[in-house]
Amino acid sequence: MSEPEEVLALLRAALGDRVETTDAALGEARADKSGHAASGMPIAVVRAASVRDVQETLRIATATGTPVVTRGAGTGLAGGANAGAGEIALSMRGMDRILEVRPEDLLAVVEPGILNGDLNRVLAERGLWWAPDPASRDISTVGGNIATGAGGLLCAKYGVVRDAVLGLDLVLADGRMLTLGHRTVKGVTGLDLTSLVIGSEGTLGVIVGATLKLRRLIPGAVCTIAATFSDVRTAAEASAAVTAAGAQPAIMELMDAASLAAVHALLHLDPPIPGAAQLTIQTDGPAAVGESDAIAAVLVAAGGTVALSRDQEEGERLLAIRRSLHPAMETLGTTLIEDVSVPRSALPAMFDEIARIEREHGVVIPTVAHAGDGNLHPNFIFDAAPGEGGVAEVPDHIWAAADDLFRAALRLGGTLTGEHGIGVLKRRWLADELGEDQWELQRQITRVFDPAGILNPGKVFTP
């Protein structure tokens, strides 16, 4: 490996003012929204503006044996794009163009740095829509959504990122570019490397372009239901009853008492009933009105107090409560934001496990769930003084509680992460879910793409 000064000189010679070394830029590249920060400062931040910039960076990295960490908007929640000592932070945020939109083929080709929300505002003008809808859509990039396999509020009906990507342009560690996937509705030639790259968290290559599968905007009404329940288990049972009844809402979000109270306080709303949990459900399309009436009847039968609105603006106000979760958690203290998924029928049991973990470990875990698909976001709240770079260390007792929660999700037939990824924070549990043989096989696959191991080292598959 070359000395950092040599690497920096090579980067500046090839990329000029694309290379940034200010303390502010280097410090920002160390951390994401997870609260975790990498150790030490990266060598430089390369702000790529073209595919050539990416290729030059990776050729230099390969020649000098220098690790590269690819970043989007820095909104990740698993520490997966944090760059530390001796590493190059490769920022894709500046590559944010929409290269092509083909309404007749329901596809778009975009660069990875475009924000999810910005893309959809442009597409809406043409009656189109890219369905992945993370709560962070206004601040997270499409490339980041793809790299982490992001989900969001609409997954149960419209699928996750993996269901909405037709192809990818990928630059390998040595600077070569691959064009993966297809522009056709069907395509089964060879192995599905596009799906392999989705959710790979920067360990296989750098995404420099994406061919996206679009939908037409949904016609018809949008109906929103807010249903309050005496406790979170009853609300979880009600969400399972909605699924069992055959209903297919576009959105079904569950907030427990602690998360609901925190958001109400943040938004200066009247305090909710103590202990109460809330389901927010939205139906769309031509059948929205009938579906909302049927769902409301199921919720009433399950013990809910139900309010139904057919006003779209009112519906967005109700959803704003759910989308305000993360800033509300920040008002409670330092937060470790986690992400597990269980089969939808196991959602009540998982909330029982969370209550047990709170009691046994003496911690507070406000939790929300994408109840339509069984994806929970437990938030571990703790007090900690900021450390180096303003980032607080997660104390051991919080990790012990998180360990208990992860293992509970696996016992219930679930998974460690539904949409945030493994990154740094969950790598120690990865083999528990995959098993040693699959874990090792996946490690070997990363070496086929990146023989020298310079792409996002220390993340995901690091023992």
55-83: per-residue pLDDT in tens?
999 999 999 999 999 999 998 988 899 99
Phi then psi dihedrals of residue 409, to 5 deg: -60, -40
Are the C-beta atoms of residues 94 and 111 closer than 8 Å to each other? no
pLDDT of 34 reads 82
pLDDT digits (tens, 9 = 90+) for 118-152: 999 999 999 999 999 887 888 999 999 999 999 88
User: What is the total count of domains within the chain?
Assistant: 3
Rounded to whole angstroms, the Cα distance separating 18 from 264 reads 43
Please determine, for residue 384, whether its predicted confidence score (pLDDT) is greater than 90: no
Shared domain for 66 and 112, answered yes or no, is no
Average pLDDT, integer, range 393-399: 90
Shared domain for 240 and 374, answered yes or no, is yes
Shared domain for 174 and 67, answered yes or no, is no
Mark which of 216, 250, 274 sits at the end of a domain. Answer: 216
Closest CA to 285 of 221, 372, 216: 221
CATH code: domain of residue 126: 3.30.465.10
Please determine, for residue 307, whether its predicted confidence score (pLDDT) is greater than 80: yes
Helix (H, G, I), strand (E, B) or coil at 165: strand
pLDDT digits (tens, 9 = 90+) for 168-193: 999 999 999 999 999 999 999 999 99
Q: What is the pLDDT of the chain when averaged over all its residues?
A: 94
DSSP code of residue 11: H
At 386, the pLDDT band (50, 70, 90 cuts) reads low
- Give percent of the chain with pLDDT exceeding 90: 82
Shared domain for 193 and 107, answered yes or no, is yes
Rounded to whole angstroms, the Cα distance separating 380 from 329 reads 9
Are the C-beta atoms of residues 401 and 378 closer than 8 Å to each other? no
Average pLDDT, integer, range 80-88: 95
CA dihedral 153, 155, 161, 167 (to 10 degrees): -140
pTM higher than the cut 0.75:
yes
Please determine, for residue 391, whether its predicted confidence score (pLDDT) is greater than 80: no
Rounded to whole angstroms, the Cα distance separating 300 from 306 reads 7
pLDDT of 463 reads 80
Per the domain annotation, does 178 fall within a domain?
Answer: yes
Shared domain for 272 and 185, answered yes or no, is no
pLDDT of 41 reads 95
DSSP per position, 318-386: HHHHHHTHHHHHHTTSEEEE--EE--GGGHHHHHHHHHHHHHHHT-B--EEEETTTTEEEEEEEE----
pLDDT of 351 reads 97
Mark which of 216, 239, 256 sits at the end of a domain. Answer: 216
Per the domain annotation, does 446 fall within a domain?
Answer: no
Neighbours of 352 (CB within 10 A): 16
Shared domain for 243 and 330, answered yes or no, is yes
- H or E element, residue 392: none
The token duo for 153 is 């509020």
